[in-house]
Amino acid sequence: MLKAKPIVSSALVLVLAGGGFWISQQSPQAAPARPASASIPVSVASATHRDVAVFLTGLGTVQPSQSIAIHPQVEGELVDVLFTEGQRVKKGDVLAHIEPRLFQAALDQAEAKKAQDAALLIAAEKYLNRFAALGQRDIVSRQDIEQQQAKFDQLKASIAADDAAIDIAQTQLDYTAIRAPSDGRVGIRLIDRGNIVRLAERSALTTLVVTHPSAVVFTLPASNLDDVRAAMARGAVEVTAFDQDNFGELAKGRLLLIDNAVDPATATIRLKAMFDNADDRLWPGQFVNARVLVELRRNVVTIPSVAVQQGPQGAFVWVVSGEETVAPRLIEVGPATDGETIVAAGLVEGNEVVTDGHYKLRPGAVIARAPAVPAESAK
């Protein structure tokens, strides 16, 4: 028993020594140091003074200044179609022909009737003169003279009726040549040569549209009505038409009118702008975005629109302090144009605001400024 004690004591020493070595090796990982609070990467921009053009944008459609359905005005066989679908035509150009022979015959008949009545009128005038001379010598009665005068007057009235009949026949004959009523562009042909056209059917040969100038009819919220009316009171209001993606500029024009009533169902108002459209960039029926210049505000404070956040109390921004911490600040915002928002109150020039990374922020948070992204890379 006395011989076994050194062995047990030695083993105990080795175990304790080993445990101490394990503790000394594992303690750094078991109790790591607590890291300092990490800064939040954000993008920052400064509030600046600048002149800002205030625009209102509404979706609209292009309308021709005139749209004319070309209808035949007399009945008959369509013997010729002279236009090419989609071509531009001038006022008075012949677009098609209707068989004219019946109308030419009616004109010839009316002219022959006039010639007949004119010959009778000459004879009646001679008789009237002769009766008048005989009456002065009391050879014929006053009644005979009056009857001859009545025949003469009747033939004069017949000549006037013949002139009217000739005008009607000539007009009907002229209508056999279907002409363009205005400069413009014709559309798809709707009646082919060889068909019999009838007035009762009211079938159009084609449609002619006048696109120089063209109009754009668009809508804006009724809440913008006072701004637009004030702009029109100051003078001509510029309107720019952009494509449906609101990216490519198509044409510049001017605001023509505001509709006479607000649509109560949508709380919108319709407006109409006119464009010269000499290059045909605007096409009838095309959807466009109409941007109305209502005001030019000078030397106002602006910030990037992405900096503006919405909270329970209204619009606010995260303002950067000198210690690279942030705090929310309520602001009063004005119109926004081209990615910039006017700040009516709450900021002064030089104040720095956060434009990206808002979702991680809290009052007093420490920020790290992210490097600015070049404009080419942002695209």
The confidence score (pLDDT) of residue 36 equals: 44
The residue written with tokens 């009819």 in the block is 217
State which amino acid sits at residue 82: L
The confidence score (pLDDT) of residue 216 equals: 97
Topology of 42-52+299-378 in CATH? 2.40.420
Domain residue extents for the chain: 42-52+299-378, 72-99+176-203, 101-174
Is 165:82 a contact under the CB 8 Å cutoff?
no
The confidence score (pLDDT) of residue 30 equals: 38
Is 207:271 a contact under the CB 8 Å cutoff?
no
CA diameter of the chain = 197
Topology of 72-99+176-203 in CATH? OB fold (Dihydrolipoamide Acetyltransferase, E2P) (2.40.50)
**Which 3 state secondary structure label does DSSP give 290?**
strand
- Report the run of H or E that residue 56 belongs to, with start and end: strand 48-70
- In sequence order, the 6+-apart residues with CB closer than 8 A to the CB of 66 are 182, 184, 208, 209, 210
Cis-peptide into 32, omega within 30 deg: no
Q: Per-residue confidence of the chain (379 residues) as pLDDT tens digits? A: 334 344 333 333 333 344 443 333 333 343 343 344 578 898 898 889 888 888 899 999 999 999 999 999 999 999 999 999 999 999 999 999 999 999 999 999 999 999 998 999 888 888 778 767 777 777 777 887 778 888 888 888 999 999 999 999 999 999 999 999 999 999 999 999 999 999 888 889 999 999 999 999 999 999 999 999 999 999 999 999 999 988 899 999 999 999 999 999 999 999 999 999 999 999 999 999 999 999 888 888 999 999 999 989 899 999 998 888 888 999 998 888 878 898 989 888 888 899 988 888 888 888 888 875 554 444 4
Pair of tokens at residue 186: 């014709």
Pair of tokens at residue 13: 């020493």
Q: Which residues is 184 bridged to in the sheet?
A: 89
Topology of 101-174 in CATH? Helix Hairpins (1.10.287)
The confidence score (pLDDT) of residue 295 equals: 87
Pair of tokens at residue 116: 């007949």
- Evaluate whether 72-99+176-203 and 101-174 have a shared fold: no
The confidence score (pLDDT) of residue 373 equals: 54
Would you say the pTM of this structure is higher than 0.85? no
The confidence score (pLDDT) of residue 37 equals: 56
